[in-house]
Structure formats: structure tokens, C-alpha cells
């Protein structure tokens, strides 16, 4: 009888032990206390903010000039590619006779002498003679009429440049172009025949440095004619510029780029950005650059680091305002995000106030 009691007691201990083991395994584990992120403070500042879109481009020059030879003969002199030719200077020579550059918005189509009808070519000649110093507006009225004053100024120019002094401008003696010309390619060689082929003897551009852009249609809404932009040159320096041309027609993507996943898969719109400081890009023809276009901006707003924003349970954002050791959560309205800062509006916010930010 005693032995049985002992066995029963032992069985009870085992049963209790087994039950205790089950409780230990099934009970939920305690949740460790949350570790607070180290924090610091930042100052509410009043500043201007903006966001930009970056578009890749290439430096170049505006305008395309084509120079034709209007008289048959043999080429006896040509400029070198890259050479800049100004008003009154020789562009090329045929049969050892220099053909000089005058500024005008249309080509010459006839000889100019006493008795010709009035026209824009006569006006261009008169304007150039005044600009070159061979007449004054007091002595020569720039009105497109070939007068004795026109012929007298023309003779003075011919004498000074060692031309036959005739008071007559023969067709082919000059080439009218929009302005100073930078030679890009030559279509003939010294010693070769020219005249009558219909092909340009040489081509050029203006001397105005510009950035040529192919704007993806997805970004076309951010750029407009007249927009002020910032151009980052290859060496890292920045130059202000302005959008001077923007095409209204999109160009289809290059078929050779199809399926490569590059930006050329999107249609693009051509744009031109002229640099404010021309010398900055004068020696960087065809160099890749980045154009930063401001697509949104705000001025004189309160801003804090983006990391100061706290997501609120009910939606929206808040900030922890600091006052000594005290911290107070206030709701704010977030405005423009720019870089590491964000515009904020809310009650109790003021310039110079301290807000809580996480620190690493």
C-alpha cells in the first residue's frame, strides 16, 4: 500500500512537470522595448526652393550658313575650318579675286549700280558701307535706293580694299550672310573649278555658342522659349543660359536604337539654349553638357530638412518642435520638395525654431 502511494505521487510530479513544460513553450514571448532612434535638431529656415529637370545636350553654334560661288573660275584661296570671318573680310577667292563677306538677310541676285531699282540688296549694301566706315548716315541715307552717295561710298570701299574702283558692285563680288561666320566645312579645293554646280563652296555657322537639345516628349512640358536655365559644362563649371528656340514638331526615335532601352526610343523636340557668357564654351564644340531647367519654384518660404517630417497615423505630416528638453508634435502641410529640404506650413512654425531630426 505504501509503495503504491509513492508511485502515485511520483506520477503526479511527472504530470505537473509535463504541464509546466507545455506552458513555458506556449506562452507568448515578451516584446523587447523599442530602441529610440538617436536624434538631433535642425533649424527652420526661410529660403527660396526650386526643382529642376536635367536634360542632356551638346555644345555647338547657332545658324547654318551656305556660301555659293556665283562666277565660274578657279579657286585660288579658301579659309580653314574653324576660322571666323567678319564683315568686309574675304571668304574665298576665285581667279585671285577675293569674295568678301557683307551682312544681309538674303543673297545677292544682281549687280548693283546707278539706275537699278530700289531693293533690299541695295539697302544691305548701304548698311554695310556705313558699318565699315565708308559713309555716315548723315551723308548716305540707308533707304534701298542706289544714289550718287551710294556709288561714292562704294568707290571709297573699293579703293581701300584694292578692288577696281568702279562704283558698281558686280554679282559675285560679295556674299551676303546673316553675320559673322565660323567656317565648318569646305566643299571645294584650292585649284579646283567652281561656278554653276549648285553646290555650296563652303558652309559655316554663326559665332554664337549654344547648346542643342533633344528634349524627350515626356519632359517637353518643363521647357519654354525664353526660360532661364543653367548649363553645366564638362569641367563642372556652370553658365547661365536661355532657351532661344523650341521646335513645335516632335522627331521620331532613331530606328537603329529600337529595343535598346535608351532615351532615343522616345520622340524628341529640338531646342536651342544660348549661353550668357559666350567665351565659356567657345572651345568646346560638340562637348556633352547638362541643362538644368527649373520646373517649379517658391520664394521666401519656411523649410526644414525632409528627414524632420513625421508621418501621422491619420495621414499627413508633422514635426516635433523642440523647446529646451520639451518636444511637441505639430501638424504641418508639406509643399515643394527640393533636394534635402521641404517647404512647410503650420501653426506655431517660425523662422529659427528648432525641430527634431534623426541622426546617424
Residues of the chain with pLDDT under 50: 1-34, 258-261, 263
Same domain, 128 and 162: yes
**Domain CATH code at residue 269:** 2.40.30.170
Same domain, 335 and 351: yes
Domain boundary, last residue among 156, 182, 207: 207
Q: Structural domain of residue 70, as residue ranges?
A: 64-98+174-207
- How does pLDDT run across 85-141, given as a tens digit for each residue? 999 999 999 999 999 999 999 999 999 999 999 999 999 999 999 999 999 999 999
Domain boundary, last residue among 275, 296, 317: 296
Q: Is residue 273 part of a domain?
A: yes
* Rounded distance between C-alpha atoms, residue 96 and residue 162, angstroms: 12
Same domain, 162 and 287: no
pLDDT confidence of residue 277: 84
Same domain, 263 and 215: yes
Same domain, 70 and 203: yes
Handedness of CA 111, 112, 116, 119 (dihedral sign): positive
* Rounded distance between C-alpha atoms, residue 40 and residue 38, angstroms: 7
Same domain, 223 and 285: yes
Same domain, 279 and 200: no
Strand ranges for 206-287 from DSSP E: 209-216, 228-232, 238-251, 268-275
> Cell triple for residue 112?
548693283
> Cell triple for residue 101?
563677306
**Domain CATH code at residue 345:** 2.40.420.20
pLDDT confidence of residue 255: 63
| CB-CB neighbours of 110 under 10 Å | 13
Q: Is residue 232 part of a domain?
A: yes
* Rounded distance between C-alpha atoms, residue 52 and residue 338, angstroms: 9
* Rounded distance between C-alpha atoms, residue 167 and residue 173, angstroms: 13
Helix 120-131 to helix 148-160 angle, to the nearest 10 degrees?
50
Domain boundary, last residue among 296, 320, 347: 296
* Rounded distance between C-alpha atoms, residue 62 and residue 211, angstroms: 9
Q: Is residue 252 part of a domain?
A: yes
Q: Is residue 9 part of a domain?
A: no
pLDDT confidence of residue 256: 58
Q: Is residue 264 part of a domain?
A: yes
pLDDT confidence of residue 281: 65
Phi-psi region of 259 (alpha: psi -120 to 50; beta: other; left: phi over 0): left
Same domain, 237 and 328: no
| CB-CB neighbours of 321 under 10 Å | 21
Spatial contact of 217 and 271, defined as CB atoms under 8 Å apart: no
pLDDT confidence of residue 228: 93
Q: What is the pTM of this model?
A: 0.68
Same domain, 129 and 233: no
Same domain, 273 and 327: no
Same domain, 180 and 84: yes
Question: What total number of domains does the chain contain?
Answer: 4
Q: Is residue 22 part of a domain?
A: no
The residue assigned the cell 549700280 is: 113
Same domain, 191 and 218: no
Q: Is residue 156 part of a domain?
A: yes
In 3D space, the residue among 198, 168, 154, 174 whose CA is nearest the CA of residue 85 turns out to be 174
Q: Is residue 124 part of a domain?
A: yes
Handedness of CA 93, 96, 102, 108 (dihedral sign): negative
Amino acid at each position: 500500500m505504501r509503495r503504491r502511494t509513492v508511485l502515485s505521487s511520483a506520477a503526479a510530479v511527472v504530470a505537473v512537470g509535463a504541464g509546466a513544460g507545455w506552458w513555458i513553450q506556449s506562452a507568448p514571448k515578451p516584446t523587447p522595448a523599442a530602441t529610440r532612434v538617436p536624434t538631433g535638431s535642425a533649424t527652420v529656415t526661410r529660403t527660396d526652393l526650386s526643382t529642376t529637370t536635367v536634360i542632356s545636350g551638346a555644345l555647338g553654334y547657332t545658324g547654318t550658313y551656305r556660301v555659293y560661288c556665283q562666277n565660274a573660275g578657279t579657286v585660288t584661296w579658301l579659309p580653314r575650318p574653324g576660322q571666323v570671318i567678319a564683315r568686309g573680310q574675304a571668304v574665298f577667292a576665285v581667279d585671285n579675286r577675293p569674295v568678301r563677306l557683307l551682312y544681309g538677310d538674303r543673297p545677292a541676285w544682281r549687280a548693283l549700280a546707278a539706275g537699278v531699282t530700289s531693293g533690299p540688296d541695295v539697302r544691305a549694301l548701304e548698311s554695310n558701307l556705313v558699318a565699315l566706315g565708308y559713309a555716315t548716315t548723315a551723308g548716305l541715307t540707308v533707304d534701298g535706293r542706289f544714289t550718287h552717295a551710294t556709288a561714292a561710298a562704294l568707290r571709297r570701299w573699293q579703293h581701300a580694299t584694292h578692288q577696281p574702283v568702279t562704283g558698281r558692285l558686280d554679282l559675285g563680288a560679295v556674299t551676303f550672310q546673316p553675320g559673322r561666320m565660323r567656317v565648318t566645312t569646305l566643299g571645294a579645293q584650292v585649284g579646283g573649278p567652281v561656278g554653276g554646280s549648285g553646290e555650296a563652296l563652303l558652309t559655316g555657322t554663326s559665332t554664337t555658342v549654344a547648346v542643342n537639345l533633344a528634349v524627350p516628349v515626356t519632359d517637353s512640358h518643363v521647357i519654354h522659349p525664353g526660360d532661364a536655365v543653367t548649363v553645366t559644362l564638362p569641367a563642372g563649371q556652370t553658365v547661365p543660359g536661355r532657351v532661344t528656340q523650341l521646335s513645335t514638331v516632335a522627331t521620331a526615335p532613331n530606328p537603329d536604337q529600337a529595343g535598346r532601352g535608351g532615351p532615343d526610343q522616345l520622340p524628341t523636340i529640338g531646342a536651342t539654349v544660348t549661353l550668357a557668357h559666350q567665351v565659356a564654351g567657345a572651345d568646346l564644340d560638340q562637348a556633352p553638357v547638362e541643362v538644368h531647367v527649373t520646373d517649379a519654384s517658391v520664394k521666401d518660404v519656411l523649410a526644414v530638412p525632409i528627414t524632420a517630417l513625421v508621418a501621422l497615423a491619420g495621414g499627413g505630416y508633422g514635426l516635433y518642435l523642440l523647446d529646451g528638453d520639451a518636444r511637441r508634435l505639430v501638424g504641418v502641410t508639406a509643399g515643394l520638395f527640393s533636394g534635402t529640404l521641404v517647404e512647410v506650413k503650420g501653426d506655431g512654425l517660425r523662422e529659427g525654431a528648432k525641430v527634431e531630426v534623426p541622426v546617424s
